[in-house]
Structure 1
Amino acid sequence: METISRMFKGNIRQYGMIIALVVIMILFEILTGGLLLQPINITNLILQNSYILVLAIGMVLVIITGHIDLSVGSIAAFVGAISAIMMVDMQLPAWLAVIASLILGGLIGAWQGFWIAYVRIPAFIVTLAGMLLFRGLTMIVLEGQSISPFPGGFQKISSGFIPGFGGSGMNIVAILAGIVLTIWYIINELRDRRAQSKYGFELSPQGLFILKLVVVAAIINAFTIVLASYSGIPNILVLLFILIVVYSFVMNRTIMGRHIYALGGNEKAAGLSGVKTKKVTFWVFVNMGVLSAVSGLIFAARLNAATPRAGTNFELDAIAACFIGGASAAGGIGTVFGAIIGGLVMGVLNNGMSLIGLGIDWQQGIKGLVLLLAVAFDIYNKNKRAV
């Protein structure tokens, strides 16, 4: 029991948010009379929140370095507008327009990263200027009008599903994906436990470890069965999964990830330790620009139009997702998985409140309160550990 207690206290924020997500889902499942966890609504949750989750992955890296980015919504709107001009007005192939849009996002990120990393202008000021600049440019290039429709192939980024087969309305590909993911997860956990044992780290009790494997495996397969009973695996879910795996690997298993955490923990100490702090900051904002472009393309494909008001408040939702998921405003703390959990908490809140008929005024107020409580909880735990 002491080992379990220490494990929980050491990861209280991460476990706390997972528990909070489960409680919120159960609550809204009851309040909506079972509508929340219907297969069609689960699929809609993924599609509706995909672009925010993509932004949250990039934003958590920015926050870990001790910065903030207020421009991501405007960049997403601007890139979406440029992609519409290329695909709809100029009739360029979708793949070429997508590549050009991602390069544009990277260049915008490099522009902002230069001012922040090398000129040393605070990120808040640079990205606030970027928010205004790219919102204005979006309105200029669109001339106040929406551009649509996008080519059918491009729309499938957000509305398409992985082709499947099977009878009785079940998508066999989705079920097989659940089995493969379960096997991959168990092998990965066993390998990590073996490595911890080899280097003398304290291990969780074997019974608790097995229970964890069983619970996670059950959740994975239940999720894929729910998807299989509707239309299968959305294309956007595959993209999200790849991004989560890649960025989790980078942050946990690479030198770049260690440098990002070191920079956020103490910039001067990181510099004295050999970390090229300016270079790391620059590339974190380049990465944020690229992911903003990805988010803009996803949103444009889902809406099937580029509009001057696209991306409004995206930055606030992404920042809130990171803080709710355990990132620290002081920098140096946060995980990609936590940001995804935070984004899902916000997404389920939005969806659940809409299903029970709460107005946008109540929704905004409740989301603000949840964000405040999450940060207050983080500060309380830090102060408690410091005593």
Structure 2
Amino acid sequence: MTRVKDFIKKNTMFLALIFVMILFQVLITSANKGSLFAPTNITNLINQNSYVLILATGMLLCILTGGNIDLSVGSVVALVGAIAGKLIVVMGMNVYLSIFICLLTGIAIGAIHGYMIAYIRIPPFIVTLAGMMLWRGVALLILDGLTISPFPDNYLFMFTSYLPLNPDGKGVILATTLIVGGILCLVYLAMEILNRTKKIRKGYDVNTAIAAYGKVGVICLAVLVLSYLLGKNKGIPFVLIIVLIIVAIYSYFTAKTVPGRTLYAIGGNEKAAKLSGINTNRSLFMAYTNMSFLAAVAALVCIARFNSAAPSAGTNYELDAIGACFIGGASAYGGTGTVGGAVVGAIFMGVLNNGMSILGIDANWQKVVKGLVLIIAVLVDVLNKRRAKSS
């Protein structure tokens, strides 16, 4: 019984996501408005929320350092998009060189933020709030208040295409997506077996085999269902591959590397981490530099999706990323959270938006619902912290 409670506690948001998806499916079907799991809708859900997944991954690293956030990411998205529009569309510069310059711009902005936060010790809220206004203003100056479009096909190809390329028919698309999904499941299963075996060998506590492999089975089933649905439409979006690569890299970084684990140590107790020999300044600098780098990546994805660079791009993107992290289990105090949790939070937010939109719920009520979900997630975190301290 205790192990069941522990399993539910560790996977609360994942179970909540499944419940919400089933609930919306029932409501949408009952209202005769299609299906949440329609192949076209699933593809749109991925394309519409890819930027949230990318930004939430970077935002998590900032939050881990002590509940810090970056309010400037939406403005960085707008600025990088504006630069890309000027370089690629207006000046006709080489696409790959333009992308490189855009990514360097993101890194440079993050380095400026990181230096002021980590070494000058200006509070992150103030630095990124100033950045939110500054970089939005620069983006407006570059665009002169106008929208730049359209982008060339060779640029759009990198972010809006589908795998397989130039298929002979629907059968080829479905076969490809199922094969890719099966390979991902086998790799995930092998990694879980190796990790579990290693922990048992070292004498660590592990979940029961039923709990551990039951979770693997549920995730693999979800992957195969997703592969099937994508295969019934256009195939695997390139942007999904980009997101999966980012999530895999940062999951490994936070869980298996020393620099990644230092972020948790800083969030737990920065003074203790510093006394133990951790270079806290460097870790903070890295977290905020990385955040703006991923904001630049998100910008490249967004302008390809909209096929334009607009002054309004990136509006409220920082709130989506922050909300995804907290809903996904990141602590408002720092030191707790996973990339996987941030991904679940981002998907949860995307399903809420998509499901309510299909049902025709007023946009104002959608904001009310998302706000309530966020405050409940943070409230649960605070109450758990208090309960842990009292016990």
TM-score of the aligned structures, taking structure 2 as reference length: 0.95
Deviations 1:128-156 (A, max 9, x none): 00000011111110001001111112113
Matches of 1:377 and 1:3, distance apart in 2: 20
Query: 8 Å contact 2:170–2:231 — kept in the other structure?
Result: no
Amino acid at match of 2:317: F
Give, in whole Å, the separation in 2 of the partners of 1:4 and 1:75: 43
Q: How far has the Cα of 1:205 moved from its partner?
A: 2.4
Partners of 1:307 and 1:18 lie apart in 2 by: 35
* 3-state SS in 1 of match to 2:146: coil
Is there any run of 5+ residues in structure 2 with no aligned partner, and where?
Answer: none
**What's the CA shift string for 1:223-245, capped at 9, x where partnerless?**
11111111110000000100011
Please say if residues 346 and 367 of structure 1, whose CA atoms lie closer than 8 Å, have aligned partners that are also in contact: yes
Asked if the contact 1:81/1:142 (under 8 Å) is kept, the reply is yes
Aligned residue in 2 for 1:153: 154
Consecutive aligned runs of 4 or more in structure 1 exceeding 4 Å deviation:
164-170
Letter of the 1:124 partner, please give it: F
Superposition map of 1:10-49 within 5 A: 11=10, 15-33=11-29, 34-49=34-49
In 2: Cα distance, 1:214 partner to 1:371 partner: 29
Task: Please say if 1:335 is aligned against 2:331.
Answer: no
> Which amino acid counterpart does residue 85 of structure 1 have in structure 2?
K
Kept in 1, the 8 Å contact 2:163–2:238? The answer is: yes
Instruction: Please point out which of 372, 384, 387 is paired with 2:387.
Output: 384
Is 1:3 the counterpart of 2:3 in the alignment? Answer: yes
Give the direction of change, closer, same or farther, for the CA distance of 1:289–1:182 in structure 2 (3 Å limit). same
Q: Secondary structure at the match of 1:258?
A: helix
| Residue matched to 1:189 | 192
Answering whether residue 140 of structure 2 is matched by residue 144 of structure 1, we say no
Match of 2:215 among 184, 201, 212: 212
Counterpart-to-counterpart distance in 2, 1:373 and 1:60: 19
- What CA distance in whole angstroms lies between the structure 1 residues aligned with 2:356 and 2:262? 40
Number of residue-to-residue matches in the alignment:
383
1:173 to 173, 176, 183: 176
Give the structure 1 partner of residue 113 of structure 2: 112
**Residue of structure 2 in register with 1:284 after alignment:** 287
Kept after mapping to 2: 8 A contact 1:84/1:150: yes
Separation in structure 1 between the aligned mates of residue 306 and residue 128 of structure 2, nearest angstrom? 26
* Compared CA separation, residues 367 and 92, structure 1 to 2 (3 A): same
Cα deviation per residue 1:180-212 (whole Å; 9 max; x = unaligned)? 011101101110110111011223223333433
- Call closer, same or farther: CA 1:321–1:207 in 2, change over 3 Å: closer
3-state DSSP of counterpart to 1:32? helix
Equivalent residue letter for 2:264? Y
Q: Say if 1:170 and 1:230, in contact at 8 Å, map to a contact too.
A: no
- How much has 1:19 moved relative to structure 2? 1.1
Mapped contact 1:157–1:298 kept (Cα < 8 A): no
Q: C-alpha displacement at 1:170, in angstroms?
A: 5.1
**Which runs of 5 or more structure 1 residues have no equivalent in the other structure?**
none
Q: Using structure 1 for the length normalisation, give the TM-score.
A: 0.96
Q: Would you say the 8 A contact 2:7–2:211 is kept in 1? A: no
Which one is further off, 208-217 or 126-135?
208-217
